A and B are shown apart, each in its own frame.
Chain A
Amino acid sequence: MTAMTDDTLPVTPRAMRDEMILFVVMAAVLSVVPWTGIYPFFVMQALCFALLACAFNLLIGYGGLLSFGHAMFLGTAGYVSAHALKVWGLTPELGIVAGIAAAAGLAVITGLVAIRRQGIYFAMITLALSQLLYFIYLQTPFTHGEDGIQGIPQGYLFGVFNLANSTTLYYVIVVGFLAGFLLIYRTINSPFGEVLKSIRENEQRAISLGYKTDHYKLLAYILSGTLAGFAGSLKVFVAQNASLTDVHWSMSGEIVLMTLVGGLGTVFGPVVGAFVIIAMQQYLASFGQWVTVIQGVIFVVCVLTFRRGVIGEIAHYFRRSL
């Protein structure tokens, strides 16, 4: 676990200040989007994926664990929220809670299995677990197989905010994203986050210092999966459907790609990466399967020449931690 951390900078007041300034700028930019004429649906979709990528990044960038199955949290939370809203007729907030709870439960179960191996095996195990779930969702009736759950009612959040109104929905998504982002940021800079980084750097030494590293890794995994589930629940309100594509391995690959492009182990990288990849998919939609090829090329180019990612390169250039 060395290569991606060769230029880790210590958390200093200056770094914290930089990050807080950037956070305020990001929040300000996001809050004026509805007046700029930018298609809000695109931004909402990108924000859901940005939160998902941030959750994924918590695990790989700070815990050194590459999950190749994070789509299972996105898809599970999406299905459960969609089912709760449409069939059980729950209110939006309860639908979100149901989705998050499902993702958290899934994270506990899969975490206990996956955490038993490290490194490359961890990636293969999470991939296999998500494929197992894919086949289960393909066969169980409540997911409606290939069709997915469609036409999900949006309803009134807390009985007040009409989510069918796209501006209202937009701000709800922005607030949800910022809350999730802050939670991850807080986690990274907490004593828990510091222990996690030490496990990434040298697990043996962390063990010899008396840390039960498996507990830390499992907790990080559960937190990451739960937040990925939150992103999945939010996405239901934007897309108004929940389908098998959200659980497929190619989705897990896209999550990895977003984080890699933005910068593994950077605070803002996954957000930038998510916007880049979602924008690319929008503009290249007419090229069909070539999008897959282009994604593959980005993977190859990033790994060979651009391992720090966009934000990582900028941070490296200015000798800052972003």
Chain B
Amino acid sequence: MQALYAQLLVGLINGSFYALLSLGLAVIFGMLNIINFAHGALYMMGAFCAYFLLNLLNIGYWPALILAPIIVGIFGMILERTMLQWLSGLDHLYGLLLTFGMALIIQGIFQNYFGSSGLPYAIPDELKGGMNLGFMFLPIYRGWVVVFSLIVCLATWYLIERTRLGANLRAATENPTLVRAFGINVPRMITLTYGLGVGLAALAGVLSAPINQVRPLMGADLIIVVFAVVVIGGMGSIMGSIITGFALGVIEGLTKYFYPEASNTVVFVLMVLVLLVKPTGLTGRAN
């Protein structure tokens, strides 16, 4: 039973990353009509950013949790201003190709300087150690990742679904021209949205740095799984992305316990099943 709970926890942690990343993808897709292939690379940059902050500037985990998403988010906004904005009005596919190219550049540069092996990033002192819950041993840092990700996801949901800013955002997704007519600066909103999505990815990167080590290709395979998560969940609803992300992480964890050979593939197999039963995804609307 210990092993089962441990795998469930791993599943929840992976689920947190799936949720944070697919949430960002969904937000970006809503505003920019672009599937951000660079999302995995920006997640990796978040982890590296925390690593640099610690080793070059001696800035620890807690400030990095805020600083890294902001720095990488600004980097993302520069990408949006210099490149992505020129794609508006073109076929969606060009956005995918452009961001794929950006991912190759970013990952290639990091691979040149850091190879493919992992760099260590220590768990902050406050979160070291573990708790005995009676039925299992819970490493505190892992519990923290799950709880904190959940809070961030829910905060993002609140921001988009319940605030005035979010209402403007949703309106601009539906009809940008009309929203501009109301005097709202839609291009700036698009840039900020991209920054927000990228920031969420970078935050996931910082959270994962002490668990998965900091590697140039840490986001390359992850992003493909997240794509499958997005296909399963559909990009129609924010809450849908969050729930699907966590649920698939848990299912993956369970698979690791019951049938480890399939743990790499279970998300993709589920995607096939969902496509056969409900092609629009679990929360998606027909397009």
Interface pair A299/B279, CB less than 8 Å apart: no
Q: Are A299 and B231 in contact (CB under 8 A)?
A: no
Known contacts A120-B96, A300-B98; decide if A293 and B275 are in contact (CB<8 Å): no
Of the candidates A129, A256, A292, A293, which one forms a contact with B272 in the assembled complex, judged by CB atoms under 8 Å apart?
Answer: A129
Q: A121 contacts which chain B residues (CB < 8 A)?
A: 231
Question: What does DSSP make chain A's interface, helix, strand, loop or mixed?
Answer: helix
Asked whether any CB of chain B lies closer than 8 Å to the CB of A135, the reply is yes
B271 touches A296 (CB 8 A): no
Q: Which residues of B contact A303 (CB under 8 A)?
A: 87, 94, 97-98, 101
Scoring B residues 103 to 139 as 1 if CB is less than 8 Å from chain A, else 0, what string do you get? 1111111011000000000000000000000000000
A-B contact count (CB 8 A): 127
B152 within 8 Å of A by Cβ? no
B261 touches A256 (CB 8 A): no
A321 to chain B, nearest CB (A): 20
Contact among A290, A291, A299 for B97, CB-based, below 8 A: A299
Partner of B275, one of A125, A132, A256, A300: A125
Residues A299 and B100 in contact, CB atoms below 8 Å apart: yes
Are A125 and B271 in contact (CB-based, < 8 A)?
yes
Within 8 A of B (CB), among A264-322: 288-293, 295-300, 302-304, 307
In chain A, what residue has the closest Cβ to B276? A113
Closest to A4 in B: B91
B227 at the interface (CB under 8 A from A): yes
Contact B224 A289 (CB under 8 A): no
Assess whether A131 is interfacial by the CB under 8 Å rule: yes
* Complex Cα spacing A290 to B102, Å: 14
Given known pairs A116-B279, A293-B104, A303-B94, the reply for A128 and B265 (CB within 8 Å) is no
**At the interface, yes or no: B264 with Cβ under 8 Å from chain A?**
yes
Residues of A within 8 A of B102 (CB): 296, 300
> Which residues 97-148 of A have a CB within 8 angstroms of B?
113-114, 116-121, 123-125, 127-129, 131-132, 135-136, 138-139
7 further A-B pairs in the complex, CB-CB below 8 A; given A113-B276, A297-B101: A116-B279, A118-B287, A127-B227, A128-B227, A128-B231, A304-B83, A304-B98
Instruction: Report 28 cross-chain contacts, Cβ distance below 8 Å, ordered by A residue.
Output: A3-B90, A114-B275, A116-B279, A117-B231, A117-B280, A120-B92, A120-B93, A121-B231, A128-B231, A129-B268, A132-B265, A132-B269, A135-B264, A136-B265, A138-B264, A256-B97, A291-B108, A292-B104, A292-B107, A293-B109, A295-B108, A296-B103, A299-B97, A299-B101, A300-B83, A300-B101, A302-B97, A307-B94
